[in-house]
Amino acid sequence: MRDVASPRAMARTLALFFAAGGCAAVLAATGGSDHPTRRWIVAGAGLLALAVGAAVFRWGAGQPRAVLGGLVTLGCTLIATVVLVSPDSTTAVLCGSISAFVGVIACFFADRRIAVAHISTAVGGTTAALLVRGDASASSAAALAVVVVTLAVVTRTLVLRASDAGADSLTGLANRRGFDEALDEHTRRADVLLSAALLDLDHFKLMNDTAGHEAGDRLLRRVAGAWAAALPVGALLARHGGDEFALLAPGLSGPETLVVVEHLCALVPEVGVSAGVAERRAGDTAAQLMRRADLALYRVKSDGRGAAALHSDAVV
């Protein structure tokens, strides 16, 4: 399943929710004067959440998704702890409602199992903390759980529908819009290796004209399926339009990406494929990177098709 949010979007959303949850906890702690020690603990947890939110906003976009997922788990732990030590049931339920944030942020993870795990952790931890306290009714805990789960389901549905705008309906791959968004996201990170490739199916128009569009569609789906299953971790394959595919390879050099492309081409030996590869150079914009991949592809086509070339090796 494709990721439904970029690392940058996930980090910014997670930072916002940590900050909002921290503010809510601090405000809840100031709502009375009884049990000052407990109120200070709640306020301290809120300040910790604010600090985490600031750190995630500053450095989160460059972190692996596993780290961002771990921070969601940290948020669940903080919420359950605050609920457990809250000075009264009203404050406990109020702080427990912060778990709704977890229900929303979990929807920004592509893997449904991860989202379910985060929501289960948040709901289970908050409900258990409320019941252990003894001064909050089971019905209040259940009502809160229903609200959190409902918000999560609705948000997940909306996020998936929004992500469809970046998907190709025929192959299930990213479409040009989805590819361009990912390319723009990765080109902002100047400290990471980045390569891109353009792959064309040779003489595809002739097949469409002779065998029909249904046969052409079946070929596109078959090629897309074979290639998608063989991508390196973190790579994105998109149908750029017609019979042209685009590959984005974060963390790979040009020569390494060329090896990947040659392997993809070998997976469909009965289909002629021409491909051009380029590695980002210092100062390259997204358009410049793709322009050099296109130049390498043009060179391959000029030399007779059915091959792959790295731009630095192509004399154009």
pLDDT tens readout for residues 237-255: 999 888 999 999 999 999 9
The answer to whether residues 158 and 20 belong to one domain is yes
Q: Which residue has the tokens 């789960």?
A: 149
Quote the Cα angle for 306-309-315, to 5°. Answer: 115
- 158 with 12, same domain: the answer is yes
* Inside any domain, residue 171: no
- Cα-based distances in Å from 297 to 77, 197, 269, 314: 51, 9, 19, 9
Three-class DSSP category at 205: helix
What pLDDT score was predicted for residue 141? 93
Q: CB of 272 within 8 A of CB of 212?
A: no
pLDDT at residue 261 is higher than 90: yes
| 53 shares a domain with 23 | yes
Asked if residue 266 is part of any domain, the answer here is yes
d(CA 288, CA 286) in angstroms, rounded, equals 5
> Which residue segment(s) compose the domain that 181 sits in?
176-313
* Any domain includes 36: yes
User: Do the domain assignments include residue 108?
Assistant: yes
Residues 143 and 226 in one domain: no
Least trusted range by pLDDT, from 55-64, 196-205, 223-232, 300-309: 55-64
Strand 244-250: give its sheet, edge to edge.
236-241, 244-250, 194-201, 273-279, 308-310
Q: Do residue 259 and residue 191 come from a single domain? A: yes
Q: What is the pLDDT of residue 56?
A: 93
Q: Is residue 250 part of a domain?
A: yes
Is the pLDDT assigned to residue 4 strictly greater than 70?
no
Work out the average pLDDT over 290-310.
93
Of 118, 143, 166, which residue constitutes the final position of a domain?
A: 166
- Pair 219, 145 in one domain: no
Nearby residues of 129 by Cβ (< 8 Å), 6 or more positions away: 80, 81, 83, 84, 92, 96
**159 and 221 assigned to the same domain:** no
Q: What is the CATH number of the domain that holds 244?
A: 3.30.70.270
Q: Annotate 143-189 with three-state secondary structure.
A: HHHHHHHHHHHHHHHHHHHHHHHHECCCCCCECHHHHHHHHHHHHCC
Q: Are residues 13 and 160 part of one domain?
A: yes
Residue 2 counted as domain residue: no
Residue 158 and residue 32 share a domain: yes
Q: How far apart are CA 56 and CA 38, in angstroms?
A: 27
Q: Among the three residues 133, 166, 199, which one is the final residue of a domain in this structure?
A: 166
Residues 119 and 220 in one domain: no
Check whether residue 149 and residue 186 sit in a common domain. no
Whether pTM > 0.75 for this model: the answer is: no
Contact indicator for 100, 122 with CB cutoff of 8 Å: no
Which of the listed residues 166, 200, 221 is the one where a domain comes to its end? Answer: 166
Residue 1 lies in a domain: no
Question: Strand pairing of 194-201 and 308-310?
Answer: unpaired
For residues 51-70, give the mean pLDDT: 87
What span, in angstroms and rounded, lies between the C-alpha atoms of 179 and 198?
Answer: 12
> Tens digit of pLDDT for each residue in 163-177?
666 788 888 888 888
pLDDT score of 82: 94
In this structure, the answer to whether residues 99 and 190 fall within a common structural domain is no
Quote the mean pLDDT of the chain: 88
Q: What is the mean pLDDT of residues 191-215?
A: 86
Domain count, the chain: 2
215 in any annotated domain: yes
| Continuous segment of H or E residues that includes residue 200 | strand 194-201
Radius of gyration of the chain (CA): 25
pLDDT confidence of 39, banded at 50, 70, 90? Answer: very high
One-letter identity of residue 87: P
